[in-house]
Chains A and B, each alone.
Chain A
Amino acid sequence: MTHLEQASNSNWTIIFICWIIASVSTLGSLFFSEIMEFAPCALCWYQRIFMFPLVLILLVGLFPFDKSIIKYALPLALAGWSFAFYHYLLYSGFIPESLQPCSQGVSCSETYLDLFGFLTIPMLSLISFSTIVTLLFILKRRLSK
Protein backbone atom coordinates (compact mmCIF):
# COMPACT_ATOMS: atom_id res chain seq x y z
CA MET A 1 0.00 0.00 0.00
CA THR A 2 1.41 3.35 -0.99
CA HIS A 3 1.79 6.25 1.36
CA LEU A 4 -0.92 8.13 -0.51
CA GLU A 5 -3.40 5.29 -0.24
CA GLN A 6 -2.76 4.97 3.44
CA ALA A 7 -3.44 8.66 3.98
CA SER A 8 -6.65 8.52 1.99
CA ASN A 9 -7.70 5.48 3.96
CA SER A 10 -7.34 7.27 7.26
CA ASN A 11 -9.22 10.27 5.89
CA TRP A 12 -12.04 7.92 4.99
CA THR A 13 -11.88 6.42 8.48
CA ILE A 14 -12.26 9.84 10.08
CA ILE A 15 -15.51 10.49 8.21
CA PHE A 16 -16.59 6.94 8.96
CA ILE A 17 -16.09 7.54 12.70
CA CYS A 18 -18.06 10.80 12.46
CA TRP A 19 -20.84 8.87 10.74
CA ILE A 20 -20.84 6.20 13.46
CA ILE A 21 -21.09 8.90 16.16
CA ALA A 22 -23.93 10.66 14.35
CA SER A 23 -25.78 7.36 13.86
CA VAL A 24 -25.38 6.31 17.47
CA SER A 25 -26.55 9.75 18.64
CA THR A 26 -29.56 9.68 16.31
CA LEU A 27 -30.62 6.19 17.36
CA GLY A 28 -29.94 7.07 20.99
CA SER A 29 -32.09 10.17 20.90
CA LEU A 30 -34.85 8.21 19.16
CA PHE A 31 -34.59 5.60 21.90
CA PHE A 32 -35.04 8.28 24.56
CA SER A 33 -38.04 9.86 22.86
CA GLU A 34 -39.82 6.88 21.27
CA ILE A 35 -39.03 4.00 23.60
CA MET A 36 -38.45 5.62 26.98
CA GLU A 37 -40.98 8.29 26.04
CA PHE A 38 -39.06 11.30 27.30
CA ALA A 39 -40.60 14.21 25.42
CA PRO A 40 -37.78 16.20 23.76
CA CYS A 41 -37.63 19.83 24.92
CA ALA A 42 -37.28 22.73 22.46
CA LEU A 43 -33.47 22.84 22.68
CA CYS A 44 -33.28 19.07 22.19
CA TRP A 45 -35.26 19.48 18.99
CA TYR A 46 -32.82 22.01 17.59
CA GLN A 47 -29.93 19.68 18.32
CA ARG A 48 -31.76 16.81 16.67
CA ILE A 49 -32.43 18.96 13.61
CA PHE A 50 -28.67 19.31 13.12
CA MET A 51 -27.72 15.76 14.14
CA PHE A 52 -30.15 13.71 12.04
CA PRO A 53 -29.07 15.02 8.59
CA LEU A 54 -25.41 14.35 9.45
CA VAL A 55 -26.14 10.62 9.29
CA LEU A 56 -27.19 10.84 5.63
CA ILE A 57 -24.76 13.55 4.52
CA LEU A 58 -21.75 11.77 6.00
CA LEU A 59 -22.84 8.46 4.52
CA VAL A 60 -23.08 10.01 1.05
CA GLY A 61 -19.61 11.50 1.52
CA LEU A 62 -18.17 8.04 2.18
CA PHE A 63 -18.99 6.55 -1.24
CA PRO A 64 -16.87 7.53 -2.99
CA PHE A 65 -14.87 9.49 -0.48
CA ASP A 66 -15.55 13.17 -1.14
CA LYS A 67 -13.46 15.69 0.72
CA SER A 68 -16.02 18.47 0.13
CA ILE A 69 -18.10 16.63 2.76
CA ILE A 70 -16.35 18.88 5.29
CA LYS A 71 -17.85 21.92 3.63
CA TYR A 72 -21.35 20.52 4.04
CA ALA A 73 -21.08 18.72 7.36
CA LEU A 74 -19.15 21.30 9.37
CA PRO A 75 -21.84 24.04 9.40
CA LEU A 76 -24.42 21.53 10.63
CA ALA A 77 -22.07 20.19 13.27
CA LEU A 78 -21.10 23.67 14.46
CA ALA A 79 -24.70 24.85 14.69
CA GLY A 80 -25.62 21.72 16.61
CA TRP A 81 -22.62 22.15 18.86
CA SER A 82 -23.70 25.72 19.73
CA PHE A 83 -27.14 24.54 20.82
CA ALA A 84 -25.63 21.64 22.74
CA PHE A 85 -23.22 23.98 24.53
CA TYR A 86 -25.99 26.43 25.40
CA HIS A 87 -28.18 23.59 26.59
CA TYR A 88 -25.37 22.24 28.72
CA LEU A 89 -24.84 25.64 30.36
CA LEU A 90 -28.56 25.91 31.04
CA TYR A 91 -28.75 22.40 32.39
CA SER A 92 -25.82 22.71 34.73
CA GLY A 93 -27.08 26.03 36.04
CA PHE A 94 -24.53 28.45 34.55
CA ILE A 95 -27.41 30.27 32.90
CA PRO A 96 -30.17 31.15 35.34
CA GLU A 97 -33.69 29.70 35.00
CA SER A 98 -35.21 33.05 34.07
CA LEU A 99 -33.24 33.18 30.82
CA GLN A 100 -34.59 29.82 29.79
CA PRO A 101 -36.16 30.04 26.32
CA CYS A 102 -38.65 27.20 26.73
CA SER A 103 -40.94 28.04 29.59
CA GLN A 104 -43.91 26.22 28.12
CA GLY A 105 -44.23 22.50 27.56
CA VAL A 106 -41.22 20.42 28.44
CA SER A 107 -38.62 22.02 30.65
CA CYS A 108 -35.12 22.12 29.21
CA SER A 109 -33.49 21.84 32.60
CA GLU A 110 -35.41 18.91 34.06
CA THR A 111 -33.16 15.92 34.59
CA TYR A 112 -34.43 12.75 32.96
CA LEU A 113 -31.40 10.60 32.91
CA ASP A 114 -28.33 10.47 35.06
CA LEU A 115 -25.92 7.74 34.02
CA PHE A 116 -23.14 6.91 36.45
CA GLY A 117 -23.94 10.09 38.33
CA PHE A 118 -22.60 12.54 35.74
CA LEU A 119 -23.72 11.60 32.23
CA THR A 120 -26.90 13.46 31.31
CA ILE A 121 -28.67 13.66 27.94
CA PRO A 122 -27.46 17.23 27.13
CA MET A 123 -23.95 16.16 28.04
CA LEU A 124 -24.12 13.16 25.68
CA SER A 125 -25.20 15.53 22.93
CA LEU A 126 -22.37 17.95 23.68
CA ILE A 127 -19.83 15.12 23.64
CA SER A 128 -21.11 13.84 20.27
CA PHE A 129 -21.12 17.25 18.60
CA SER A 130 -17.72 18.15 20.06
CA THR A 131 -16.17 14.93 18.77
CA ILE A 132 -17.66 15.34 15.30
CA VAL A 133 -16.55 18.99 15.07
CA THR A 134 -13.04 18.13 16.26
CA LEU A 135 -12.67 15.24 13.81
CA LEU A 136 -13.93 17.37 10.92
CA PHE A 137 -11.41 20.10 11.78
CA ILE A 138 -8.61 17.54 11.97
CA LEU A 139 -9.58 16.23 8.55
CA LYS A 140 -9.73 19.75 7.18
CA ARG A 141 -6.16 20.41 8.31
CA ARG A 142 -4.91 17.09 6.94
CA LEU A 143 -6.43 17.79 3.55
CA SER A 144 -5.16 21.35 3.27
CA LYS A 145 -1.59 20.22 3.87
Chain B
Amino acid sequence: MKKQFIVFISIVFLILLFVLGVNLYKNQRAKKYGFMAQENASTFVREHSQTLGSDDAKVYLIEFSDPACETCSAFHPFVKNLMAVNPGKIKLIVRYAPFHDGADYFVKILEAARKQGKYWETLEVMYKTQRYWASHHNPQPKLIWKFLPSAGLDLEKIRNDMNDPEIARLIKQDLADAKTLNVRKTPGFFVNGKPLQSFGYKQLQELIDAEIKENY
Protein backbone atom coordinates (compact mmCIF):
# COMPACT_ATOMS: atom_id res chain seq x y z
CA MET B 1 0.00 0.00 0.00
CA LYS B 2 2.77 2.39 1.00
CA LYS B 3 4.70 1.67 -2.19
CA GLN B 4 1.68 2.39 -4.36
CA PHE B 5 1.36 5.69 -2.57
CA ILE B 6 5.01 6.61 -3.21
CA VAL B 7 4.66 5.88 -6.92
CA PHE B 8 1.35 7.72 -7.12
CA ILE B 9 2.81 10.78 -5.44
CA SER B 10 5.83 10.61 -7.79
CA ILE B 11 3.60 10.56 -10.86
CA VAL B 12 1.60 13.53 -9.62
CA PHE B 13 4.79 15.37 -8.70
CA LEU B 14 6.43 14.73 -12.10
CA ILE B 15 3.36 15.88 -14.01
CA LEU B 16 3.05 18.99 -11.85
CA LEU B 17 6.73 19.73 -12.41
CA PHE B 18 6.23 19.38 -16.16
CA VAL B 19 3.22 21.70 -16.23
CA LEU B 20 5.05 24.21 -14.05
CA GLY B 21 8.04 24.07 -16.39
CA VAL B 22 5.81 24.67 -19.41
CA ASN B 23 4.27 27.75 -17.82
CA LEU B 24 7.57 29.10 -16.64
CA TYR B 25 9.14 28.65 -20.04
CA LYS B 26 6.23 30.26 -21.88
CA ASN B 27 6.12 33.25 -19.56
CA GLN B 28 9.82 33.77 -19.91
CA ARG B 29 9.53 33.55 -23.69
CA ALA B 30 6.67 36.06 -23.75
CA LYS B 31 8.67 38.50 -21.62
CA LYS B 32 11.75 38.11 -23.77
CA TYR B 33 9.92 38.79 -27.03
CA GLY B 34 7.73 41.52 -25.56
CA PHE B 35 10.96 43.22 -24.57
CA MET B 36 12.46 42.66 -28.00
CA ALA B 37 9.44 44.24 -29.62
CA GLN B 38 10.42 47.54 -28.06
CA GLU B 39 14.18 47.30 -28.16
CA ASN B 40 14.58 45.63 -31.48
CA ALA B 41 11.46 46.14 -33.55
CA SER B 42 13.31 45.64 -36.83
CA THR B 43 13.61 41.92 -36.08
CA PHE B 44 9.85 41.78 -36.51
CA VAL B 45 9.35 44.26 -39.32
CA ARG B 46 12.02 44.88 -41.92
CA GLU B 47 12.13 47.62 -44.53
CA HIS B 48 11.50 45.06 -47.23
CA SER B 49 8.52 43.41 -45.54
CA GLN B 50 5.26 43.38 -47.45
CA THR B 51 2.39 44.79 -45.41
CA LEU B 52 -1.37 44.91 -45.68
CA GLY B 53 -3.66 47.31 -43.87
CA SER B 54 -3.65 50.86 -42.61
CA ASP B 55 -0.42 52.56 -41.54
CA ASP B 56 -2.33 53.99 -38.58
CA ALA B 57 -3.14 50.52 -37.26
CA LYS B 58 -1.91 49.96 -33.73
CA VAL B 59 -2.01 46.18 -33.83
CA TYR B 60 0.79 44.67 -35.85
CA LEU B 61 0.20 41.06 -36.85
CA ILE B 62 3.50 39.55 -37.95
CA GLU B 63 3.18 36.28 -39.79
CA PHE B 64 6.17 34.13 -40.65
CA SER B 65 4.82 32.12 -43.54
CA ASP B 66 5.73 29.79 -46.34
CA PRO B 67 3.77 29.74 -49.63
CA ALA B 68 4.06 25.95 -49.67
CA CYS B 69 2.73 25.48 -46.12
CA GLU B 70 -0.80 24.08 -45.88
CA THR B 71 -1.56 25.59 -42.49
CA CYS B 72 -0.53 29.05 -43.74
CA SER B 73 -2.95 28.57 -46.59
CA ALA B 74 -5.67 27.50 -44.18
CA PHE B 75 -5.02 30.52 -41.93
CA HIS B 76 -5.00 33.09 -44.71
CA PRO B 77 -8.79 33.54 -45.03
CA PHE B 78 -9.07 33.62 -41.24
CA VAL B 79 -6.49 36.39 -40.97
CA LYS B 80 -8.17 38.39 -43.73
CA ASN B 81 -11.48 38.01 -41.97
CA LEU B 82 -9.96 39.23 -38.70
CA MET B 83 -8.76 42.31 -40.54
CA ALA B 84 -12.16 42.83 -42.14
CA VAL B 85 -14.06 42.76 -38.85
CA ASN B 86 -11.57 45.18 -37.26
CA PRO B 87 -11.20 47.71 -40.07
CA GLY B 88 -8.12 49.89 -39.86
CA LYS B 89 -6.94 48.41 -36.60
CA ILE B 90 -4.74 45.57 -37.83
CA LYS B 91 -1.70 45.69 -40.01
CA LEU B 92 -0.46 42.40 -41.43
CA ILE B 93 3.27 42.01 -41.98
CA VAL B 94 4.37 39.06 -44.08
CA ARG B 95 7.72 37.55 -43.24
CA TYR B 96 9.11 34.48 -44.94
CA ALA B 97 10.10 31.22 -43.32
CA PRO B 98 10.26 28.90 -46.35
CA PHE B 99 10.99 25.73 -44.37
CA HIS B 100 9.60 23.32 -46.97
CA ASP B 101 12.18 21.92 -49.36
CA GLY B 102 12.54 24.27 -52.31
CA ALA B 103 9.95 26.69 -50.95
CA ASP B 104 12.15 29.71 -51.57
CA TYR B 105 11.33 29.17 -55.26
CA PHE B 106 7.76 30.26 -54.56
CA VAL B 107 8.86 33.18 -52.40
CA LYS B 108 10.96 34.36 -55.34
CA ILE B 109 7.94 34.20 -57.65
CA LEU B 110 5.88 36.06 -55.08
CA GLU B 111 8.45 38.81 -54.66
CA ALA B 112 8.80 39.09 -58.43
CA ALA B 113 5.03 39.49 -58.65
CA ARG B 114 5.29 42.35 -56.17
CA LYS B 115 7.27 44.28 -58.77
CA GLN B 116 4.20 44.06 -60.99
CA GLY B 117 1.96 45.20 -58.16
CA LYS B 118 0.23 41.85 -58.00
CA TYR B 119 1.54 40.57 -54.68
CA TRP B 120 -1.72 39.82 -52.88
CA GLU B 121 -3.41 38.46 -55.99
CA THR B 122 -0.49 36.08 -56.50
CA LEU B 123 -0.46 34.99 -52.86
CA GLU B 124 -4.18 34.30 -53.12
CA VAL B 125 -3.67 32.18 -56.25
CA MET B 126 -0.75 30.33 -54.65
CA TYR B 127 -2.69 29.41 -51.54
CA LYS B 128 -5.74 28.35 -53.56
CA THR B 129 -3.81 26.10 -55.95
CA GLN B 130 -1.24 24.94 -53.42
CA ARG B 131 -2.47 21.35 -53.23
CA TYR B 132 -1.65 20.84 -56.93
CA TRP B 133 2.02 21.86 -56.80
CA ALA B 134 3.02 21.49 -53.15
CA SER B 135 1.67 18.07 -52.22
CA HIS B 136 4.01 16.46 -49.71
CA HIS B 137 4.37 13.08 -51.36
CA ASN B 138 4.64 14.50 -54.85
CA PRO B 139 5.74 18.14 -55.00
CA GLN B 140 5.68 19.59 -58.53
CA PRO B 141 6.92 23.17 -58.26
CA LYS B 142 6.83 23.69 -62.04
CA LEU B 143 3.07 23.18 -62.07
CA ILE B 144 2.64 26.56 -60.39
CA TRP B 145 3.29 28.33 -63.69
CA LYS B 146 0.00 27.01 -65.02
CA PHE B 147 -1.90 28.90 -62.34
CA LEU B 148 0.04 32.16 -62.28
CA PRO B 149 -1.67 33.80 -65.28
CA SER B 150 -4.93 33.89 -63.32
CA ALA B 151 -3.28 36.50 -61.06
CA GLY B 152 -2.76 38.66 -64.14
CA LEU B 153 1.02 38.30 -64.21
CA ASP B 154 3.53 38.81 -66.99
CA LEU B 155 5.28 35.43 -66.73
CA GLU B 156 8.32 36.41 -68.81
CA LYS B 157 8.99 39.28 -66.46
CA ILE B 158 8.55 37.02 -63.44
CA ARG B 159 11.14 34.60 -64.78
CA ASN B 160 13.63 37.44 -65.06
CA ASP B 161 12.80 39.22 -61.82
CA MET B 162 12.75 36.19 -59.57
CA ASN B 163 16.51 35.75 -59.90
CA ASP B 164 17.19 39.20 -58.50
CA PRO B 165 19.88 38.76 -55.81
CA GLU B 166 17.99 41.28 -53.72
CA ILE B 167 15.19 38.72 -53.27
CA ALA B 168 17.64 36.03 -52.17
CA ARG B 169 19.08 38.47 -49.64
CA LEU B 170 15.61 39.29 -48.33
CA ILE B 171 14.81 35.60 -47.82
CA LYS B 172 18.07 35.12 -45.99
CA GLN B 173 17.32 38.05 -43.69
CA ASP B 174 13.82 36.74 -42.94
CA LEU B 175 15.16 33.28 -42.16
CA ALA B 176 17.77 34.79 -39.84
CA ASP B 177 15.07 36.79 -38.03
CA ALA B 178 12.90 33.67 -37.80
CA LYS B 179 15.79 31.94 -36.09
CA THR B 180 16.31 34.83 -33.69
CA LEU B 181 12.62 34.80 -32.80
CA ASN B 182 12.61 31.02 -32.37
CA VAL B 183 10.14 30.43 -35.21
CA ARG B 184 10.50 26.75 -36.09
CA LYS B 185 7.10 26.10 -37.62
CA THR B 186 4.89 28.00 -40.01
CA PRO B 187 2.79 29.99 -39.73
CA GLY B 188 4.55 31.71 -36.85
CA PHE B 189 2.46 34.57 -35.46
CA PHE B 190 3.44 37.55 -33.36
CA VAL B 191 1.01 40.27 -32.34
CA ASN B 192 2.80 43.49 -31.43
CA GLY B 193 5.83 41.35 -30.74
CA LYS B 194 4.01 38.88 -28.51
CA PRO B 195 4.26 35.30 -29.75
CA LEU B 196 1.16 33.15 -30.16
CA GLN B 197 1.63 30.87 -27.16
CA SER B 198 -0.50 27.94 -28.16
CA PHE B 199 -1.42 27.43 -31.77
CA GLY B 200 -4.97 27.72 -33.05
CA TYR B 201 -7.63 29.99 -34.60
CA LYS B 202 -9.25 30.77 -31.28
CA GLN B 203 -5.94 31.55 -29.59
CA LEU B 204 -4.90 33.92 -32.39
CA GLN B 205 -8.24 35.68 -32.21
CA GLU B 206 -7.91 36.08 -28.44
CA LEU B 207 -4.39 37.46 -28.71
CA ILE B 208 -5.49 40.00 -31.31
CA ASP B 209 -8.60 40.96 -29.36
CA ALA B 210 -6.48 41.50 -26.25
CA GLU B 211 -4.11 43.79 -28.17
CA ILE B 212 -6.98 45.74 -29.74
CA LYS B 213 -8.50 46.23 -26.29
CA GLU B 214 -5.20 47.46 -24.94
CA ASN B 215 -4.47 49.89 -27.76
CA TYR B 216 -7.88 51.35 -28.64
Q: Taking beta carbons and an 8 Å cutoff, which residues of A are in contact with B?
A: 12, 16, 19-20, 23-24, 27, 30-31, 35-37, 39, 59, 62-63
Nearest A residue to B15, CB-CB = A27
Looking at the complex, which of B6-14, B36-44, B50-58, B146-154 is the stretch in contact with chain A? B6-14
Are the C-beta atoms of A27 and B18 separated by less than 8 Å? Answer: yes
Give the distance in Å from the alpha carbon of A62 to the alpha carbon of B18 in the complex.
23
B interface SS class:
helix
Encoded as 1 (CB less than 8 Å from any A CB) or 0, chain B from 1 to 45 comes to 001101100110010011001100110000000000000000000
- Distance in Å from the Cβ of B97 to the closest Cβ of chain A? 13
Q: Taking beta carbons and an 8 Å cutoff, which residues of B are in contact with A?
A: 3-4, 6-7, 10-11, 14, 17-18, 21-22, 25-26, 182, 184-185
Are the C-beta atoms of A27 and B184 separated by less than 8 Å? Answer: no
Give the distance in Å from the alpha carbon of A19 to the alpha carbon of B10 in the complex.
10
25 contacts between A and B (CB under 8 A): A16-B3, A16-B7, A19-B7, A20-B10, A23-B10, A23-B11, A24-B14, A27-B14, A27-B17, A30-B18, A31-B18, A31-B21, A31-B22, A31-B25, A35-B21, A35-B22, A35-B26, A36-B25, A37-B182, A37-B185, A39-B184, A59-B7, A62-B3, A62-B7, A63-B3
